[in-house]
Amino acid sequence: MKILDLTVETHSAMQYGLKEYEMIHPDLFAHYFRYWANRENFSDNIISRNDLELRRELVCNSLQSVIQSIEDYGLPADNITVILFTGQNTSNGHAFMNKDEITVWIPVETYHTTLQAQVFLTHEIIHGIHYLLSPDFSFGNESERVHTGRQLITEGVATYFTMRALGISESEALWADFLSEQKIDEWIADCRRRLTELKAHCRKTFSNSDGKSGLFHADDPSDIFRYRAGYFVGLEFVKWMADKQRTEHEILQLPRRNLEQSALAYVSF
């Protein structure tokens, strides 16, 4: 795994405008501004230099142990580049195919605690490994990105294998410490209580590519259907699948068609 730290460079380039900012790494920013941030809302005042250095240190201090945990768990980390940069505070990262390699991108301004760094760094790298081993799960346009079935599977995979690689609880894999323990426990209890409804919603919207299912948003804490419940259902699905495999690692290499059929079967009972 190769690590490319552009944090200071991108932070400095912000001051000279969007064109100079994007020229730091054109492939990264072509992807980032296509799917995850709005060029029209570009700001050069996302984070101070002092805060940036603190967030960068937090991420860097966690990254090596995260990589070691992933490798110790037996997952391949070759042909993956992790880019650290200063983003627009819109997402804590993801992964995309870049030529023959996977690029995992990490906007350090979105990381606030050690546990968040450990959990979400692992989560994003797992996305990259999954796309590397099963490329049909990567996306090349917006409708593919927000396809409900694809998101259900890929977010479930990333959450499950984060839990397994780090040896942490389900609640930590789902939320780290973004919410209080009480709030996480209440959220999980609500998801479990309404799992039949959530599965029915997943089944109904499985083939939708309009991004309106709400399952992977964090818009309304009072409405479980619009507060990340898709991650919970995805995790439950991958746990269910893991019990059916010779080794759980096989899930990462299963063809998309096979996993989609299995996911539809899971949300249909």
Residue/partner pairs of 236-244 with CB below 8 Å, 24 or more apart = 236/156, 236/195, 236/266, 237/152, 237/153, 237/156, 237/262, 237/263, 237/266, 237/267, 238/153, 238/156, 238/157, 238/159, 238/160, 239/160, 240/266, 241/266, 242/160
pTM summary value: 0.97
pLDDT at 8: 95
Find out whether 215 and 151 touch, Cβ atoms under 8 Å: yes
Q: How far apart are the C-alpha atoms of 222 and 176, rounded to whole Å?
A: 20
> Can you give the pLDDT of all 269 residues of the chain as single tens digits?
999 999 999 999 999 999 999 999 999 999 999 999 999 999 999 999 999 999 999 999 999 999 999 999 999 988 899 999 999 999 999 999 988 789 999 999 999 999 999 999 999 999 999 999 999 999 999 999 999 999 999 999 999 999 999 999 999 999 999 999 999 999 999 999 999 999 999 999 999 999 888 999 999 999 999 999 999 999 999 999 999 999 999 999 999 999 999 999 999 98
List for the chain the helix, strand, coil content (%; round to 5): 60, 10, 30
pLDDT at 99: 80
101-107 sheet: strands from edge to edge = 2-5, 80-85, 101-107, 94-98
pLDDT at 77: 86
Domain ranges, ordered by start, for the chain: 2-133, 142-266
pLDDT at 252: 97
pLDDT at 101: 86
